[in-house]
Structures are given as structure tokens and as C-alpha cells.
Structure 1
Amino acid sequence: MRMFRNDYSEGAAPEILAALAATNDEQTVGYTEGDPHCERARELIRAACGRDDVDVEFCVGGTSANVIGVTGLLREWEGAVCTKDAHINVHETGAVAACGRTVLPTDDSDGFLSPEAAERVWRFQNSCGRHMTRPGCVYISDTTELGGVWDLERFDAICDWADSHDLPVFLDGARLGSALTSPAAGGLTLEHIARRCGAFYIGGTKNGLLFGEAMVIAHPRLREAFPFLQKERCGLLAKGRLLGVQFETAFEPAADGGETLYWRLARNANECALRLRAGLVELGFKPYGDSASNQQFFVVTPAQRDALEAACGCETFYELSDEQVVVRFVCSWATGEKDVDELIALAGTLA
């Protein structure tokens, strides 16, 4: 049975591997600095974002992108406002703190940063003047840690709040492909994100690339800091053209005028995940949350968890009690309908 552990278990989409192989013997300058593939990828991503006035830089992975992006927006006495389950708060081993910056979590519990909770953190952190860390940026992720998808209304609400406090928004886009091809996106587009965020990144690692994220930077502070922070914080890849080749391939216009490879890969992952969700719900399994992305969460018994984990590698996300645990199933660019149906059939024997 195909594993449903995560969306980066496989190597890369065939088109990506073919492009890497086809350019393997080329000799280019390093560090993403001026090679034709990185420059073409930058051109394509700017076009997709509808902006020619932003920097496009390439990072090796999500943690590196988060650390460089967040710390580059902050001054020494500032912190990042985020949810308590934000990746920078719980899943990156204190990487932001290790760089001398502070994470300022809210009490939001659904993965979405709300203006109301952000305002409470703002007021508290500014209540004692110089004696407390001052909020310096807003961090959100799309999709959220629980597979939630930001829609246009909710996204604009947090951006409006941030603008009213003169805070740049940084969007962790490790699964941005899944988010923007989800039926729950509600009008939110890449172009709109590019207009409103100080910086964000387009995730490749979790959407069919071997590795890599493409960061889009509008905020002048991060534009200046990025090259130096990337080197200082061990995120600069000497063979930088490998990143450019992948994103060039992912965003090259399709010959038939249809979706580019990047969005097609993400859409497949979502369609398979929603097929899985519908099948498990029909069997009587209880969803945890309302994910419309490639991550799906379900409440199961420990015995069901053990059987499912052994068969398809799903991960335990939360232990609610001795009788109930939350498991996560993740579909990828490589997941097929037959894989999903096989898992549903197995789950049927456990229901």
C-alpha cells in the first residue's frame, strides 16, 4: 500500500527529474546568482504573482525559509505574532529563538490567526514599553497546521489588522499549492497574496520538487537582509541552479495552455485527499477539523491507529484521551485514486 505519511516521501515528479537530467551537464555560476534557470524561474514566478517589483529568492527548505524570512523582517527587540500551533512555534526546534528573535503566540486554537487574538497580544506586549518584546511582524501559514485553507475574507482581515499596526505579513507557503487549488480558497489567489504580504514563499518540497522553496519578497528590510542572512544562517546552496531548474519547470506555461505543472500536482493531491475524506466519512470515521486540503485528520481508536499506521504510515497528531487519537493522512502529487480506494477498503475492515 502507498504511504500516506506525508507529501514528500516520493522523490520528485517525472517532469522535474527529466529537467534536472537534461541540464545535468551544463556548467553555470553558483548560488542562484545569474544562471539562466534561476533567472527564468524568477521571471515566471513574478509573472504568476502579477508583480515585477519583487525579489524572488530560493531556499533549500521550509525551516530555512521561515528562519531567514521571519528574522529578516524583525529587529533585535521585536517578535513574530503567530498562532500557538504555528510551525515556527512548535515544529522547528526553536530555530527562530536560536537566532535571537522571539515568537509571540496567540490563544487561537484552530490554526488561523485572528485579528482579535493578535490584538490581545499586541496590547499586552506594548503594555510595558521598553521592558517587553514588541511585535514586529505577523506569521501565518497556508495551509495551516491542521490543514485549514485561508479564504479571501479571512486573509484580508488579518492583513488589514497587520496594516493598521504597521506590521508586515510573512506567509509560510510550504503547502501553498494545496491551499490555492483547494475549493475552500474562496477567491484567494497568488496575485492577491503577492499584493498584501511583505514576503511569502511558494513551497516546492511538499509539491513534487526534490527540494526547495521560492520566496517572494516585497518588504525592503527583508530584500536587503536576505542575501546576507541566507549565507550567515547556512541556507545558501552552492549548486543553486538545481533550485532554478525545478521552479522553472514547475511554472513554465503548459504547451496546451492549461495549468502549469505546479498547480496540476497540487490539485491532484487535493482531489485524492477529498476522495479519501469522503470515503472515510461514509464508513463512519469522524473528521477532526474541516480540512479541504491534502492533509486530512480523523479521530480513531488506538487499535485502529495501530492498524492504519502499520498499513499506510499515517501519523498520530494528537492523543485526545486513552480511547481517542487523531491521525493524519497526507496525499501527494503521486497519490492516485487506486491508492485512496485501497486505503478506504482497508479502513472498512476496521470501522
Structure 2
Amino acid sequence: MRMFRNDYSEGAAPRIMDALVATNDEQCVGYTEGDPHCERARRLILDVCGLDEGEADVQFCVGGTSANVIGVTGMLRDWEGVICTRDAHINVHETGAVAACGRTVLPTDDADGFLSPEGAERVYAFQTSCGRHMTRPAAVYVTNATELGGVWDTARLDAICDWAHERGLRVFLDGARLASALTSEGNDVTLSHIAHTVDAFYLGGTKNGMLFGEAMVIRDERLREAFPFLVKERGGLVAKGRLLGVQFEAAFERGEGDAEAPYWSMARHANRMAADLRAGLVGLGFEPYGSSPSNQQFFVVSPAQQAAFEQAVGAETFYVLDDGRKVVRFVTSWATSRGDVDDLLEFAATIA
């Protein structure tokens, strides 16, 4: 069976690969500086974000961890830290990358993947209670979709952004799966709203049909100034930078007959496959963990079922519950077919 371990096990989607092949013999200047593909991709992204030229910078990163480290640390000074949820990628899955750069991660007690103003306020109040003797919060980090597949709505996003900006904190949004979030069922957040509300965010490519790459949109002046230097210093500058530009150019350029740009249609397809998988597993009696509308689906299973799913389709274990049962994750992508979903459901029926 096809793996459901993550959404980046495959190579590039056909439209992206065709663009890479078609431009393979071109000679371009390096490092995303001035080549026609990166420049066109920047203009396409600014346009879809509803931003004017000069209102924000569009910069390219090789992957999510690189984007998070450069983006977050570029907003902070030595004595400052970033507030996030306890399950945030920068706190759990990035090997202490932010801390390794001399910056402090300040987790809240939020347990659902969403950073709340209440949780953030508790951390902020504590960290500012002793003046210069404690790390001072200067930014918040949020993820859309969240680590548990949750999708932010406008009211919730505005609440945490308003809370942060009222205290002079910057907001950084991890958009590794932003395409899935914005095309999910019931989503009411627009890309333009994000672009005008947070201080910096990125459009994930690695997890949405590209070989690699993320496009960061930066309004924050401190990060705009720091990014060109940090991306080099922190090992994230790609010499063959046009490869990033070509992919994002192809992803955001609508072809003849396209209802929407491939970036959105690829994510919408992944979400549909995830919804079909969720409905099928629920129909077989499996217990969902949370209510993700994105391309990540979580289920509570027995240890024996977990082992079977891991061996069959690579499903990862995210949590072990107090009663010994496990929470496993299934992830769909642009390459997931209805036949792949049916194969998994047929297997799941044998262990239900």
C-alpha cells in the first residue's frame, strides 16, 4: 500500500516537475538574487497576498525548520524569547534549533495546538515580572494548520495577534501546511487577511507538491533587514536559488483552464482524500482524536492496531494515552488517490 506517513514522501507534482525540467538548461544568477523565476514568483505571491510592491519582502527558504529558525530568531534580540504552544514545532520537533541560536522558546500550557491569549498572557506576565532578570517575550509563534491538524478561524487568529501587538510583540506564522488550512472545509481565513495581520509567515512548498522550499512573506522591518544575512549565516541559502523560484512560479501561475492555481488545487485534493479517509475509518468504528479538517487525521487505536498501521502505511504515533492506547496520524498529499484511500480502508477493516 501507499504510505500515509507524511505529505512529502513523494517527489514533485507533475506541474512542478515539468517546470523544473523545462528550465533545466537555463543559466541564472544564484542565491535567489535577481533571476527571472524568483522575481516572477515574488510578484505572483505578493499579488495573491494582496500586498503592494515594497509593502513586504518575499524570501525563499529550503525547508520548514530553516524558515522557522531564521524567521523567529530574526525577530528577537539576545535577551528576548518567543511564546508558543507546548506542542509547537519549534519546541518539540526541531532539535532545539531556536535555542541553539541563543534564543529562548517560552511554551504555554495550551494543549490543543492553538495559542490562546490567556495562555500567552500567563507566560508574558511571569517572564516580565522580574525585569531584566528574565528572558523578555518579543514574539509569538503560531502554526496553521496546527500540529494536531486544527485550522485557525479569523476570530481566533485576530485575538492572538491583537494580544501580541498590544504588547509590542511580533507574530510569526508557520505555514508549512498553510495551503491545506486555507482550502479546508469551513475555513474563513483568507491569505490576504493573514498577510495584513501577522508580521511574517511562509507558504509551505515541501508539504504541498514541491521537491523542497518555503516562501516567506515578511512585513516586519527587523526581519526584513536580518533575513539576507541570517539565511546565509544559518546555512539556509541555496546556491541554485532559481530552483525555488521555478517551483513557486509554477505553483502560483494559473494555466489555461485552471479553476485555481496549482498551489491551492493540490492542497484541496489532499484535504478531500483526508476527509474520505476519516469518514471511512469512523464508519469502521475507529475513534478520531480531535476534529481536523486538514490533510492530517488522528485516530485513537490499540497498541496492536498501531503496530499494524505503522507497518502497513507508516502511520506515526503522536501520543500514548494514560490507558495505553495510542494516537496515530495519517497524512494525505497531492499524490494520494481514492484508490489509495480504499486500500487503506480495506486493510483497516481487517484489524477494526
TM-score computed with the length of structure 2 as normaliser: 0.98
Superimposed CA distance per residue, residues 11-68 of structure 1 (whole angstroms, 9 cap, x where no aligned partner): 0101111100000000000000000000000000000000021100000000000000
Structure 1 segment 204-215 matched on structure 2, within 5 A: 204-215=205-216
How large is the Cα RMSD of the aligned pairs? Answer: 0.8
Q: How does 1:1-351 map to 2 (within 5 A)?
A: 1-52=1-52, 53-185=55-187, 187-256=188-257, 258-321=259-322, 323-351=324-352
Q: Among the aligned pairs, what percent are the same residue?
A: 72
Q: Distance in 1 between matches of 2:258 and 2:90?
A: 38
Amino acid at match of 2:309: L
SS in 2 for 1:244: helix
Q: Is the 8 A contact 1:149 1:184 kept in 2?
A: no
User: Displaced runs of 4+ in structure 1, greater than 2 A?
Assistant: none
Q: Give the whole-Å Cα distance in 1 for the aligned partners of 2:220 and 2:298.
A: 35
* TM-score in terms of structure 1 length: 0.98
Deviations 1:70-103 (A, max 9, x none): 0000111110010000000000000000000000
Whole-Å separation in 1 of the counterparts to 2:250 and 2:146: 26
By how many angstroms is 1:256 displaced? 2.2
CA deviations on 1:151-190 (whole Å, 9 max, x unpaired) are: 11111111111111111110000000000001132x1011
SS in 1 for 2:186: coil
The count of corresponding residues between Structure 1 and Structure 2 is 350
Give the letter for the 2:149 counterpart: G
User: Equivalents in 2 of 1:5, 1:257: separation in Å?
Assistant: 29
Cα displacement (A) at 1:322: 5.8
Q: Distance in 2 between matches of 1:77 and 1:227?
A: 22
TM-aligned CA deviation for residue 218 of structure 1: 0.2
CA distance in 2, matches of 1:51, 1:322: 50
Q: Which runs of 5+ in 2 are unaligned?
A: none
Question: Partners of 2:5 and 2:320 in 1: how far apart?
Answer: 17
